[in-house]
Amino acid sequence: MFVRKKPNKSGKISVQVIEKKSGKYKVVKTVGSSPDLDTVERLVKEGEQWIKSQRGLLELPFNNEKQAVQNVLDNIAGITVTGTELLLGKIFDMIGFNAVKDELFRWLVFSRLCFPGSKLKTTEYLFNFHGLSIEVHALYRYMDKLYNNYKETVQLISFEHTRKILGGSINVVFYDVTTLYFEIDQEDDLRKTGFSKEGKHQNPQIVLGLLVGLEGYPLAYEIFEGNKFEGHTMIPVIEKFKTKYNLPAPVIIADSGLLSKKNIEDLVEKGYEFILGARLKTGGKGQKSKVLSLELCNGESTILDWEEGLKMVVSYSEKRARKDRSNRERGLKKLEKQLRSGKLNKSHINNRGYNKYLKMEGEIKIEIDRARFEQDSRWDGLKGYITNTRLGKDQIIENYNNLWKI
């Protein structure tokens, strides 16, 4: 609800309380009218005070059950927002975010949780439920203000809260990266085209690296140029975080996208323990033979000595095997369809994705390499974790499985 001043033909200005329902504006209460501007301003304040008195209150005619239910349904949005914001306000202050002395920051946090949407939708939310008239371009500018003025404060508050939740120490951290694209044509120093996880390779983007603690509590984030290789982002973020808060080196957990020989060398050199998702199929011939010789049943795992003091934990899951098999068969059907339509040529024969199942027959004919397709079935259900920790295999798998919370 919000207060509106409506000029009349008589020269008076009516002061009304307006509510938006089902996309339509409705007059909830007419506070009064007057040609005198001072009186109008007094009526506006009365209207604002009336809205505050009504927020969170709902008149229910208990002698008319149908009308009571309808009243609740008609006001469900306001009830939900008011109740949620009351709860969020307590949590917001308890964590310590009220140290950021900027009321718009508070409203933006609430709106992101209550009605997540575009910046334009956010301005509608703030107007409809709080009577705040904020232009959309002002919200875009505020994002720069938030980053430039409050980023370090917000991260420090998040870190201190996380440390308190986790009992005072942060021994394990999880790292992952994603890409965020922009619907613009021109690149700049930060927004550059690169490998897009959203498939928007033609759009300039940024790379976002996020570090969280156990249970997904946030610790730190950094942004990088859109053409930066994701494997080169992990060490800088972790090093900056550890130095900033003067922490002992935590155990690093990340997926196979961050696995590279250089990253492993840097982690070992800097004294970090780590658990990284492994690419079992890309090991040496002896390593692959060692994995394929395992005869693991559903839910079983084992530890193998790997290379240069590292260990490889290998687990097997029937559920994962079914998924792997389904993915391979879906990829094969897609290739077969492309073959029938004549869309494939010898330039498509490579090791990218399921194209590895293509081969040349004679000089010009392309066909499916079904032998290779069947050979890959030996890997179905197997999952690897490369580590230098002294944890047991079950602990290694359990810690890695928490990575999804990032």
- pLDDT, tens digit, 9 for 90 and up, residues 157-185: 999 998 888 887 788 999 999 999 998 88
CA distance 191 to 316: 41
Phi, psi values for residue 287, rounded to 5°: -65, -45
pLDDT digits (tens, 9 = 90+) for 275-310: 999 989 888 888 999 999 999 999 999 999 988 889
- Average pLDDT of the chain, as a whole number: 85
Helix (H, G, I), strand (E, B) or coil at 122: helix
* C-alpha dist (Å) from residue 103 to 44, 98, 288: 22, 9, 58
With CA atoms as reference, report the closest residue to 309 among 197, 390, 403.
Answer: 390
Average pLDDT over residues 176-201: 89
pLDDT band for 368, please (50, 70, 90 cuts).
confident
How does strand 205-212 pair with strand 2-7? Answer: unpaired
The single residue listed with the structure tokens 């990253």 is 263
Residue 76 has pLDDT above 50, yes or no: no
Phi, psi values for residue 362, rounded to 5°: 75, -150
